[in-house]
């Protein structure tokens, strides 16, 4: 992945190719060719250059190598944010694979639509990385084109299925929602509400839309045409608000499907404060299997998160080795119903 470094103990690069060229009385181009083992330098000159380089403790750097078309030894990873369990866990999966082979991880966060806009217009990773892993970020047609213009392999984790053969690793979010709602239907619930998490800027996130679709499809199939829906911002507080809204209505549904475990954890907090017994008075189910789900005895649909990051890293590293030849198109990882104590048949 990276050129050998010749001298291990220089605190910082102070010597450059110009110094080596001056010492030998040759051109910088000759130094460059000699250090990279390219033709066009006589053996005698090459020897002189190599010994001058050693003498001056010149360190062949990844950057120098890269200017001549080599690799940077770096891969960019783009996430909406870091301080959320899902993204941090995907990142940990990526980092584990990169560490094993000595690839550097350049981290980009795109917390809002203006950051995303800046990122895709300026392409700050251009010419700095050998490949890019992009996690969950919603992509417009123009943004996909801009990603392609990076000219390096890119792999998507979650979000929209890519067009044009970009590799993708994720789960089937519609299926995950169906698994959750199917569980509630099977144990006898019909009056099922959904607390939907929506982007406050109005951006359509593929995973959100797929989970909403999965909910409505299941409810329609069960003969419930217009189930109750509450829309809230992402996160625990959003879930808490969503449940407050449901509690403020004349009649409580018998079960609530929450967009994610964080929404469900907030909903449980509101129910506990309001003295509503779970699952006796209301069943609550989420999606994710967040570490706090077990603590709160939350029934959920588990997705393998670290594994998504790991497989994306494996895919990218494979593409770099094979020069882009052999990335699998789509890897859909399985999700799994985990039944705990927050769901029970309606009384």
Q: Using CB under 8 A, which residues numbered 278 to 297 contact its own copies?
A: 291-292, 294-296
Which position among 57, 92, 274, 329 is part of the footprint of its own copies (CB under 8 A)?
92
Residue 329 contacts its own copies per CB under 8 A:
no
Q: Does 203 bind its own copies (CB under 8 A)?
A: no
Q: Does 74 bind its own copies (CB under 8 A)?
A: yes
In angstroms, what CA-CA distances link 307 with 79, 100, 210, 321? 16, 15, 21, 21
Query: Residues 306-321, buried b or exposed e (16+ Cβ, 10 A)?
Result: ebbbbbbbbbbbbbbe
Backbone angles phi, psi at 104, to 5 degrees: -85, 140
Give the one residue of 6, 45, 56, 104 binding its own copies; rule: CB under 8 A. 104
Please state the closest distance from residue 165 (CB atom) to its own copies, in A.
Answer: 17
Backbone angles phi, psi at 93, to 5 degrees: -65, -40
How far is it, in rounded angstroms, from Cα 285 to Cα 298? 7
Instruction: Kindly tell me the sign of the dihedral angle through the C-alpha atoms of 73, 79, 85, 90.
Output: negative
Q: Build a one-symbol-per-residue string for 133-152: x at contacts with its own copies by CB under 8 A, - elsewhere.
A: ---------------xxxxx
Q: Residue 28 is encoded by which pair of tokens?
A: 């910088």
Q: Return the H-helix or E-strand segment holding 274.
A: helix 261-274
301: which DSSP letter?
A: E
Hey, what are 256's tokens?
Answer: 């609530």
Which residue in the set 54, 127, 161, 249 belongs to the binding site for its own copies (CB under 8 A)?
Answer: 127
Instruction: Between 48 and 66, name the residue whose CB sits nearer to its own copies.
Output: 66
- Residue 255 CB, shortest distance to its own copies, in Å, is 20
For its own copies, which stretch binds (CB under 8 A), given 218-226, 243-251, 261-269, 275-283? 261-269
Q: Can you give the binding site for its own copies, defined by CB under 8 A? A: 5, 8-9, 11-14, 16-18, 27-29, 59, 61-64, 66-69, 72, 74, 81-85, 87-89, 91-92, 95-96, 99, 102, 104-109, 111, 115, 122-124, 126-128, 148-152, 236, 265, 268-269, 291-292, 294-296, 306
């Amino acid at each position: 992945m990276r050129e050998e470094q010749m001298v291990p103990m220089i605190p910082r690069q102070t010597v450059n190719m110009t110094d080596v060229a001056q010492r030998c009385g040759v051109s910088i181009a000759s130094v460059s060719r000699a250090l990279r083992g390219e033709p066009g330098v006589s053996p005698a000159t090459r020897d002189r250059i190599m010994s001058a380089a050693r003498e001056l403790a010149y360190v062949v750097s990844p950057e120098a190598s890269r200017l001549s078309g080599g690799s940077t030894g770096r891969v960019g990873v783009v996430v909406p944010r870091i301080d959320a369990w899902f993204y941090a866990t995907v990142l940990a999966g990526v980092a584990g694979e990169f560490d094993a082979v000595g690839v550097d991880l350049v981290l980009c966060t795109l917390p809002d639509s203006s950051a995303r806009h800046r990122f895709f217009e300026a392409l700050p990773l251009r010419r700095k990385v050998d490949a890019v892993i992009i996690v969950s970020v919603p992509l417009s047609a123009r943004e996909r084109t801009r990603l392609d213009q990076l000219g390096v392999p890119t792999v998507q984790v979650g979000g929209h299925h890519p067009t044009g053969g970009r590799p993708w690793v994720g789960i089937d979010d519609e299926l995950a929602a169906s698994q959750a709602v199917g569980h509630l239907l099977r144990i006898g619930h019909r009056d099922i509400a959904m607390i939907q998490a929506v982007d406050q800027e109005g951006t359509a996130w593929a995973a959100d839309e797929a989970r909403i679709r999965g909910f409505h499809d299941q409810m329609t199939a069960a003969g419930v045409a217009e189930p109750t829906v509450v829309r809230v911002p992402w996160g625990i507080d959003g879930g808490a608000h969503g449940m407050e809204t449901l509690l403020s209505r004349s009649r409580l549904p018998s079960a609530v499907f929450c967009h994610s475990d964080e929404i469900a954890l907030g909903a449980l907090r509101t129910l506990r404060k309001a003295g509503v017994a779970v699952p006796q008075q209301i069943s609550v189910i989420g999606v994710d299997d967040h570490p706090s789900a077990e603590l709160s005895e939350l029934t959920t649909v588990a997705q393998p998160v670290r594994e998504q990051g790991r497989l994306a890293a494996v895919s990218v590293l494979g593409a770099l080795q094979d020069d882009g030849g052999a990335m699998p198109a789509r890897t859909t990882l399985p999700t799994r119903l985990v039944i705990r104590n927050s769901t029970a048949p309606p009384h």
